Amino acid sequence: MNNEIEDIHEFLSVFSKKYENNTTGQKDVEVLRQSILSPSECMYVLDFSMNDMSFRRGFKDFLGYTDESISLVNYMDLIHPEDIDMVSRIGKAAILHTSSHSKENTDSVLYLSFRVQKNDGHYIKVLSQSSVFETNVDGQMISSLVKVSDISFMEDNTLVKYNYVAPNLDQKIFKREIYPENHDLFTRRELEIIKEICNGATNEQISNSLQISKHTVAAHRKKILKKSSTHSADELIFFCRKYGVI
């Protein structure tokens, strides 16, 4: 087990101790058993009181694993090694935010795309949608419903992407929690130039837009590429999207 997976499991283990005396109900689980899933979908309920899945369905048709064989531990082992760190960071930040704003966040949803390994060994891109499933008497989330869908037909890149929809979320602060090491990587002016580059602007267009000389733009561009260890606009754009710079 790599360090990223150990880290998220340790986090969930500590988090679950807050709710170890809570028990999840069965009424809504019965509804899940009756719901319709396509062969390219599966779902599970993450029970924080037991730090594991209390319900799972559709894994056989979707990924080739029987529902009985899937647990939280081995499901996370299926996430691509290059994706698990970012998936863990985003998941932890969303759980902590929902926990600290429990009464306002019952309708919050986390959309997260990453790569998962099927039973035949190859990876597919999936979209995971996580929402509050059950709350305790204090309104705190004690379980989360997660639905996973195959999106390989529409997205085959290696980027981990997310969209966390929560009514009281400060997106800038949330982003800073996920990408702390890149928060101060670039100066304000460099970020302005990066945004222009991502929009396909040339040095001359950037110069006119920001009202600085082309020489200054070129100097900034050189520093930006050096800081990001990239060698082209395409590589820079990929780096910035992967690490939350833009």
Quote the CA–CA distance of 107 and 129 in Å, as a whole number.
Answer: 12
Which residue in 150, 164, 154 sits closest to 37, CA to CA?
150
Asked which of 178, 212, 228 is the last residue of a domain, the reply is: 178
Same domain membership, residue 124 and residue 16: yes
Handedness of CA 30, 148, 129, 91 (dihedral sign): positive
Quote the CA–CA distance of 77 and 80 in Å, as a whole number.
Answer: 8
Range of the domain at 101: 3-178
In contact, 43 and 145? CB cutoff 8 Å: yes
Same domain membership, residue 224 and residue 151: no
Q: What's 221's domain CATH number? A: 1.10.10.10
The pLDDT confidence band at residue 7, using thresholds 50, 70 and 90, is low
Q: What's 122's domain CATH number? A: 3.30.450.20
- For residue 145, pLDDT beyond 70: yes
Same domain membership, residue 129 and residue 171: yes
Mean pLDDT of 1-30: 63
DSSP string, 7-20: HHHHHHHHHHGGGT
Same domain membership, residue 193 and residue 157: no
Same domain membership, residue 100 and residue 10: yes
Same domain membership, residue 229 and residue 154: no
Quote the CA–CA distance of 194 and 220 in Å, as a whole number.
Answer: 9
pLDDT tens profile 37-61: 999 999 999 998 888 999 999 999 9
What predicted TM-score, i.e. pTM, was given to this entire model? 0.80
Which residue in 171, 27, 23 sits closest to 110, CA to CA?
171
- For residue 25, pLDDT beyond 70: no
Handedness of CA 193, 195, 199, 200 (dihedral sign): positive
Same domain membership, residue 74 and residue 137: yes
The pLDDT confidence band at residue 79, using thresholds 50, 70 and 90, is very high
Greatest extent of the chain over all pairs of C-alpha atoms, in Å: 66
Same domain membership, residue 228 and residue 158: no
pLDDT tens profile 206-231: 999 999 999 999 999 999 999 999 99
Q: How many domains does the chain have?
A: 2
Same domain membership, residue 189 and residue 148: no
Same domain membership, residue 213 and residue 137: no
Asked which of 126, 161, 178 is the last residue of a domain, the reply is: 178
Contacts of residues 62-67 at CB distance under 8 Å and 24 or more positions apart, as own/partner, are 62/148, 62/150, 63/116, 63/117, 63/118, 63/119, 64/118, 64/119, 64/120, 65/119
Q: Where are the beta strands (DSSP E) in 139-189?
A: 141-150, 161-165
Same domain membership, residue 231 and residue 158: no
- Reported as half-sphere exposure (CB side, CA atoms, 13 A), residue 2 has a value of 12
Same domain membership, residue 159 and residue 108: yes
The pLDDT value given to residue 24: 55
Quote the CA–CA distance of 18 and 167 in Å, as a whole number.
Answer: 24
Quote the CA–CA distance of 113 and 154 in Å, as a whole number.
Answer: 12
Asked which of 156, 178, 200 is the last residue of a domain, the reply is: 178
